[in-house]
């Protein structure tokens, strides 16, 4: 255990507030006038979707702690109730800024470029008539009006659903007001196009304009939009689970009907009495209510990013095929032969997923000399998965095929259940990992018969086997036939599919077995060196034990650079604690998702590791993760280049100080994502 150093300042940033800081950096991209307009729209949608998940998972968890009267504090010293209060204040500011950016800047700019989001009241009569036909044909048949009165109790409001609260009156001398609800259908386009014009009307306004259809004979007094967010976390008791798929399906169904609401969003126009009524029925407090100007649910802006307006988007990037995997014109590449010659590092999206990792799996599935194919699946594409298709074809051709499907990948539980059943029907051996541990590692093993012997090939990556996200997530993968490394991957699969302890690895670092211990030892080794040097790139840095080890290393004279895209609980630049630690975050066109860990100075020759693990307690102690060493000189030079470009970025980069994040001033004009695209193209041109 690392002994903490004394410092008068708080030793850690709060995890939840640090995440909100990350979403703030996403919002800054939407505010950036130099970015293409539809890219700014995309960042507005990403901000909203991020915030939805934050409430579904993190805020719901804190509420549970408050209700359970948990007395403990987070590492930064905040009680659950204190965190909720701080979150509310921060979210109110961010959410209003988000709504204002759309209303005052992005929406007018869209209109100026021929993409008009128009209120119903501003449409011409002919345009209203066109939309009336759309309403009758496409919208009205799926609406369900819900009365709320003594005979009709307040209905269940679905998670993340947009709804209309409607006040009605009957005709007569003393009409009694009535109250009703309509859910805005989530399976229809949120922005409805006027057939004859490049105008879009919010679906809730189209519905509100035609309420005489679902409520004939009643006068509509007022309509107000609101939105509800519910607890979406799934907590399984695996010790009591008989069949994991059945247990998970039951939990998913329970999530759909989760009784616990965690957030109510309302329009500014909604009167106080209706707000209070909704809070009462949803069992929420005033602190759970967020009053927003303008449209709710701006995550739906994602719809507009599919518009074919190339002038309003970033220049498309298809990626390149690395020289080691390219083939002569008219010939098919031999991926396994290329890997036999040397290990290959692939870097997505700069290197194409389809011609690298996907090609590796497809070739192995079709090769008659391949005996076995084993793979972990955490998240894959929603529709037609080429990776899953390759596994199916491999099994159907008589190969031994094993797929470890992580059913508890948050948000993808239902898709993964469907893939698991597809694979099982094809004869694939489907397993679900180790009880009590989520399998997050990304590995694939190919076993092939060659000249009377058996040879192994492996892919060890930082990202999912998903060609869709590989176009927007920055990730690394190592394709290798190194005997020691592939033997370790085989041992890891034996642990995941059987009862092997799997605790003896020659090259791999595996959580929860030896990963934490090894990383702490590497940090300690640098602390003992006269020229200690550490560079780490990750999504999140939360683990207090690792943070304390880095504090100790800083005080021992180690120079430390950290590239942390999202949450960072380490407080850098504090005198007597972290003076030699620098933290940066690169947020831009691609989601920084790779993990690179470098230990050692240039003079001593640094050692590099890549893999799936962030430095969080859940990754180090409660998940199956692995890091692989990268030792070939050409590949380590490539990793060094990636780190150098990220550390030199002054367009997308932010820096963390003792008091929070500030934007790195742009001087040299280096944008990491564009620079890495240029480097990828230059490598292919040289070949």
Give residue 428's pLDDT.
87
Give residue 6's pLDDT.
38
DSSP conformation letters of 399-454: -EEEEEE-TT-TT-HHHHHHHHHHHHHTT-EEE--STT-EE--EEEEEEEEETTEE
- For 132-240, strand residue ranges (E) read 145-148, 161-169, 177-183, 191-193, 199-202, 219-230
Q: Please enumerate in sequence order all residues whose Cβ is within 8 A of that of 333, keeping only pairs 6 or more positions apart, or say none.
A: 321, 325, 326, 327, 355, 359
Rounded Cα distance between 413 and 234, Å, is 10
224 tagged catalytic: no
In degrees and rounded to multiples of 5, residue 252 shows phi and psi of -65, -40
Give residue 620's pLDDT.
96
Give residue 249's pLDDT.
52
In degrees and rounded to multiples of 5, residue 649 shows phi and psi of -60, 130
Q: Which own/partner pairs from 413-418 qualify as long-range (CB within 8 Å, at least 24 positions apart)?
A: 413/234, 413/248, 413/252, 414/252, 415/380, 415/382, 416/377, 416/379, 417/245, 417/248, 417/249
Q: Please enumerate in sequence order all residues whose Cβ is within 8 A of that of 239, keeping only pairs 6 or more positions apart, or say none.
A: 435
Residue 43's nearest CA partner among 299, 349, 324 is 299
Cα angle for residues 589, 648, 544 (degrees, 5° grid): 80
Partners of 684 in beta bridges: none
Give residue 435's pLDDT.
73
Does the global pTM surpass 0.85? yes
Low-confidence ranges of the chain (pLDDT < 50): 1-8, 238-242, 248
Contact 547, 3 (CB under 8 A): no
Q: 37 in helix, strand or coil?
A: helix
Give residue 10's pLDDT.
81
Rounded Cα distance between 481 and 8, Å, is 51
Residue 202's nearest CA partner among 108, 52, 129, 304 is 304
DSSP conformation letters of 61-122: HHHHHHHTT-----TTS--HHHHHHHHHHHHHHHHHHHHHHIIIIIHHHHHHTT-EE--GGG
Give residue 655's pLDDT.
98
Q: Which domains does the chain have, with CATH numbers?
A: 37-312 (3.30.1840.10), 324-497 (3.30.870.10), 509-686 (3.30.870.10)
Per-residue pLDDT tens over the stretch 514-527: 999 999 999 999 99
- Of 210, 348, 440, 459, the catalytic one is 440
Cα angle for residues 147, 148, 152 (degrees, 5° grid): 85
Give residue 152's pLDDT.
86
Task: Supply the DSSP symbol for 652.
Answer: S
In degrees and rounded to multiples of 5, residue 536 shows phi and psi of -130, 140
- For 440, the token pair is 């997050």
């Amino acid at each position: 255990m690392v002994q903490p150093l004394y410092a008068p300042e708080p030793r850690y940033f709060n995890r939840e507030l640090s995440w909100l800081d990350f979403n703030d950096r996403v919002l800054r991209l939407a505010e950036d006038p130099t970015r293409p307009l539809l890219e700014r729209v995309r960042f507005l949608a990403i901000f909203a979707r991020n915030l939805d998940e934050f409430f579904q998972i993190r805020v719901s968890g804190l509420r549970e702690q408050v209700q359970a009267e948990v007395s403990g504090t987070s590492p930064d010293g905040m009680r659950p109730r204190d965190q909720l209060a701080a979150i509310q204040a921060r979210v109110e500011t961010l959410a209003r800024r988000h709504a204002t950016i759309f209303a005052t800047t992005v929406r007018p700019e869209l209109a100026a470029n021929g993409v008009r989001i128009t209120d119903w009241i501003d449409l011409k009569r002919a345009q209203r008539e066109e939309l009336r036909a759309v309403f009758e044909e496409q919208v009205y048949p799926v609406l369900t009006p819900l009365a709320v009165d003594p005979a009709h109790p307040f209905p269940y409001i679905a998670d993340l659903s947009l709804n209309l609260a409607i006040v009605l009156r009957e005709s007569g001398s003393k009409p009694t007001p009535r109250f009703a609800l309509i859910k805005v259908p989530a399976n229809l386009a949120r922005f409805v196009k006027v057939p004859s014009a490049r105008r879009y009307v919010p679906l809730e306004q189209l519905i509100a304009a035609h309420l005489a259809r679902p409520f004939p004979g009643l006068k509509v007094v007022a309509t107000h939009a609101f939105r509800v967010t519910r607890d979406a976390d799934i907590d399984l008791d695996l010790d009591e689970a008989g069949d994991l798929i059945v247990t998970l399906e039951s939990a998913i169904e329970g999530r759909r009907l989760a009784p616990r609401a965690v957030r109510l969003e309302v329009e500014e126009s909604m009167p106080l009495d209706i707000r209070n009524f909704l809070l009462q029925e949803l069992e929420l407090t005033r602190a759970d209510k967020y009053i927003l100007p303008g449209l709710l649910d701006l995550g739906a802006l994602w719809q507009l990013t599919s518009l074919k307006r190339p002038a309003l988007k970033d220049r498309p990037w298809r990626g390149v095929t690395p020289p080691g995997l390219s083939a002569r014109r008219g010939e098919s590449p031999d991926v396994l032969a290329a890997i036999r010659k040397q290990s290959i590092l692939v870097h997505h999206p700069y290197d194409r997923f389809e011609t690298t990792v996907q090609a590796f799996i497809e070739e192995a599935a079709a090769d008659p000399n391949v005996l076995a194919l084993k793979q972990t699946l955490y998240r894959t594409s929603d529709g037609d998965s080429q990776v899953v298709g390759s596994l199916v074809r491999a099994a159907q051709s008589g190969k031994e095929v094993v797929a470890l499907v992580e059913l508890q990948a948050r948000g993808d539980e239902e898709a993964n259940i469907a893939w698991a059943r597809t694979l099982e029907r094809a004869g694939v051996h489907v397993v679900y990992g180790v009880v009590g541990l989520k399998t997050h590692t990304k590995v694939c093993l190919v076993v092939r018969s060659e000249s009377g012997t058996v040879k192994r090939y492996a892919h060890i990556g930082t990202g999912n086997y998903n060609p869709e996200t590989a176009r927007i997530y920055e990730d690394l993968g190592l394709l290798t036939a190194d005997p020691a490394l592939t033997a370790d991957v085989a041992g890891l699969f034996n642990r995941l599919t059987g009862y092997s302890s799997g605790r003896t690895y020659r090259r791999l670092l595996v959580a929860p077995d030896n990963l934490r211990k090894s990383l702490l030892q590497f940090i300690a080794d640098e602390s003992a060196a006269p020229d200690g040097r550490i560079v780490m790139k990750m999504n999140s840095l939360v683990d207090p034990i690792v943070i304390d080890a880095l504090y100790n290393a800083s005080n021992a004279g180690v120079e430390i650079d950290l590239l942390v895209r999202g949450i960072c609980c380490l407080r850098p630049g504090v005198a007597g604690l972290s003076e030699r630690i620098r933290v940066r975050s690169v947020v831009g066109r691609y989601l920084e998702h790779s993990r690179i860990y470098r230990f050692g100075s240039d003079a001593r020759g640094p050692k590099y590791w890549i893999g799936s693990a962030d430095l969080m307690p859940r990754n180090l102690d409660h998940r199956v993760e692995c890091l692989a060493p990268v030792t070939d000189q050409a590949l380590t030079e490539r990793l060094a280049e990636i780190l150098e470009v990220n550390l030199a970025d002054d367009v997308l980069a932010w820096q963390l100080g003792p008091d929070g994040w500030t934007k790195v001033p742009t001087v040299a004009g280096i944008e990491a994502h564009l620079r890495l695209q240029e480097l990828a193209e230059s490598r292919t041109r040289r070949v």
